[in-house]
Structure 1
Amino acid sequence: MRVFSGSSNVALAGEVAAYLGTQLGAVTVKRFADGETYVRYGESVRGCDVYLIQPTAPPVNESFMELALLIDAARRASARSITAVIPYYGYARGNSKARGREAISAKLAANLLTRAGVDRLVTLDLHAGAIAGFFDVPVDHAHAAAVALPYLASKAIPRGELVVVSPDIGGVSRARAFAARLNDASLAIVDERHGPRGGGDAALIGDVAGRVAVVVDDMIDSGVTVCRAAEVLRAHGARSVLAFATHALLTPPTVERLRAAALDEVIVSNSIAVPAERTFPGLTVLSVASLLGESIYRIHRSN
């Protein structure tokens, strides 16, 4: 087994390697003056099972191309197998053709990685589970709920006082699965179809009055969806509002928006590196290193 990291989230990759009892392999990644990416392995990978850890996080295009080059270099260096560990899979929002003449970017990205030579993928909380079917190689789809649930359980919130909330209609399946694993907690839904985009006030389906509401989503990008959900929940009497999202994109000015929101705590994972300038009081970052490390271990041991 050889574990390597791209430049997107070296800290997480180092944690994963430590969990596996190994060290990150040597690899050179650099940019030419015109923006092109160059990669080279600093050690032999001939006959090895190679695991490449690289979330395709912002800048997405650079991260994605770097991953494709790492896969190609490993294949040309005669690696026995190549597993791409992609904690955050960029371009996942383009998973269907909602309007005419649109690209299906999630499928194109899958095709590019497969053609580059990847043998298997490990990823975390895809924007849509069906994306796993876009690949013609095995995909292990892990869920950060495995680390979020113990954290929430440590708060010892009585079962009857906890409600899991989907911030929109599209996330109901995700929230329902989360609630089922959280002692079968109650479920509520913020229906934005009647909100700012659809005219009138957003509707709330479910009862949150006097309870602790946990808004569950796969990512926080602009933060508008989760902040709007928090407003609706407070207006309907929620005692406390928490938010959990796996991927912390936190595109500016999201941090300022979250600071000003009616949220008591924002919980995210380190699937995407969160720089110091994007941290704030009330932000909790949970590590998914053990989750990814265990996935790699079981794949390698065929367990």
Structure 2
Amino acid sequence: MPAMTEPKLIAGNANQPLAKAIARRMSLHRGMSVNLVEARVERFNDQEIFVEVYENVRGEDMFIIQPTSNPANDNLMELLIIADALKRSSAARITAVIPYFGYARQDRRTKARTPISAKLVANLISEAGIDRVLTLDLHATQIQGFFDIPVDNLYAAPVFALDVLHTFRDRLSDLMVVSPDVGGVARARELAKRINAPLSIVDKRREKPGEIAEMTVIGDVTGKTCIIVDDICDTAGTLCKAAEVLMDAGATEVHSYITHGVLSGPAVERIRNSVMKSLVITDSIEATEAVRATSNIRIVPTAPMFAQAILNTWNGTSVSSLFDMETLTPIYEGLYSR
């Protein structure tokens, strides 16, 4: 679709720093100022969410930047209500930019009489008048099929690969990419291919949710610098235990690259005291003060990638081109200069 107007950004309260960073990157790309649309998103005394958009959006191509992270229900409702406000204000197209898609872990029925909440959320988003979704590293890629609207699922692997190649440039031959469970092998293999490293797996067996009964390393990690790759780190129990198991199996160092740093409950304290040398996360979820203050947690930006994806969506050009490191390298120029 040919672009007739400038893209316009609006943000909820879930991750204002990321929204502003995306606007700054788009300003650089466009050679003109791109600002967030002025609006107020607030709560009444009974915690009802109210949205008022102060600018004219009639006929505009709108992008709502709102991860549905903690508090998931509040942030989801903000997204839906902003979309309704824009739809009733005659916006031409509404794209939901959801860096972290909450409820994604409820993507199937694990036992009798349980919901598939990810499908319910997809229905809510579609019914709110949103025309397209742009997200990052869905927990299960088949969630794209839950939507009856187009979904572009970006991947953190190319950005992580750039970071790994820069950070470990003096010892690339010693690297071993590790999946913390069998279900994440495809995600780990993707990074391993990009950095030309071998792959190992930590097989875990759970007795019940939240508890890990046994972990076994599949593959020889002796003398290796291990890089654990996953999409979500919540309480960090599995991650820290996997790091210990790898060190016991002969690894020299363990680092982790996790897309979405949920980091709830005791997670930050566990990571601070872990044998892991570093945990690298993206800014898809706004970091708490505790996360920013932890020396072995590092945050890589997603704003350059999201800014380009928004511009490509607006222009009607390929978003999948951002899956390639060759495309992302100039976008991240300066951050990973050799």
TM range (shorter): over 0.9
2:17 maps to 1:5: no
Deviations 1:94-141 (A, max 9, x none): 001111111100000000000000000000001001101111111110
Shift of 1:158: 3.2
In 2, the alpha carbon distance for the partners of 1:13 and 1:152 equals 26
The partner residue of 2:176 within 135, 138, 163 is 163
1:91 aligns with 2:97: no
Q: How does 1:167-206 map to 2 (within 5 A)?
A: 167-183=180-196, 185-193=197-205, 199=213, 201-206=214-219
**In 1, distance between residues paired with 2:219 and 2:173?**
13
> Matches of 2:203 and 2:170 in 1, distance apart?
26
**Residue 263 (structure 1) shift:** 0.2
Provide the rounded CA distance (Å) in 2 between the counterparts of 1:32 and 1:149: 44
Q: Which moved more, 1:171-180 or 1:124-133?
A: 171-180
Provide the alpha-carbon RMSD of the alignment: 1.4
- Please give the residue correspondences for 1:36-115 in structure 2 after superposition, counting only pairs within 5 Å: 36-115=48-127
Distance change >3 Å, CA 247–CA 198, structure 1 → 2: closer
Cα shift readout 1:11-32 (whole Å, capped 9, x = no counterpart): 1001111111111110110111
Q: Which of 281, 284, 288 is the equivalent residue of 2:302?
A: 288
- Measure, in 2, the Cα distance between the counterparts of 1:170 and 1:157: 31
Which secondary structure does the structure 1 equivalent of 2:205 belong to? helix
Per-residue deviation, residues 219-250 of structure 1 (Å, max 9, x unmatched): 11100111111011000111110011011111
Compared CA separation, residues 195 and 61, structure 1 to 2 (3 A): closer
Give 1:35 shift.
Answer: 1.1
- Answer yes or no: is the 8 Å Cα contact 1:194–1:203 preserved in 2: no
Q: What corresponds to 2:272 in structure 1? A: 259
* Structure 1 position 273, deviation (Å): 0.4
Work out the CA distance in 1 between the residues paired with 2:220 and 2:304: 35
Among 313, 329, 333, the residue aligned to 1:299: 313
Aligned partner of 1:18 in structure 2 is 24
Q: 1:64 to 1:198 in 2, by over 3 A?
A: closer
Instruction: Measure the CA separation in 2 of the matches of 1:53 and 1:198.
Output: 36
Distance, in Å, in 1 between the alignment partners of 2:205 and 2:140 is: 20
CA distance in 2, matches of 1:269, 1:93: 18
Distance 1:198 1:292, change over 3 A: closer
Q: TM-score, normalised by structure 1?
A: 0.96
Quick one: distance in 1 between partners of 2:224 and 2:67? 35
User: Are the structure 2 counterparts of residues 37 and 106 from structure 1 closer, same or farther at C-alpha, using a change threshold of 3 Å?
Assistant: same
What is the one-letter code of the residue matched to 2:11? S
Q: Which amino acid aligns with 2:10?
A: F
| Paired residue type of 2:116 | I
Q: For structure 1, which runs of at least 5 residues remain unmatched after alignment? A: none
Q: Which residue of 1 aligns with 2:130?
A: 118
Is the contact made by 1:94 and 1:104 (CA closer than 8 Å) also made in structure 2? Answer: yes
Question: How far apart, in 2, do the equivalents of 1:8 and 1:211 lie?
Answer: 38
Runs of 4+ in 1 over 6 A off after TM superposition: none
Any stretches of 5+ residues in structure 2 without a counterpart? Answer: 1-6, 28-33, 318-338
CA separation in 1, counterparts of 2:219 and 2:308?
Answer: 37
The 5-angstrom pairing of residues 214-229 of structure 1 reads: 214-229=227-242
**Paired amino acid for 1:239:** T
Note closer, same or farther for the CA distance 1:222–1:181 as it changes in structure 2 (3 Å cut): same
Which deviations, in whole Å up to 9, do the C-alpha atoms of 1:147-187 show, x marking residues without a partner? Answer: 2211111121434311110111111111111211122x100
In 2, the alpha carbon distance for the partners of 1:209 and 1:101 equals 45
Matched-pair contact (CA < 8 Å) for 1:165–1:189: yes
Count of matched residue positions in the alignment of Structure 1 and Structure 2: 301
Alignment partners' CA distance in 1, 2:158 and 2:85: 33
More moved, 203-212 vs 85-94: 203-212
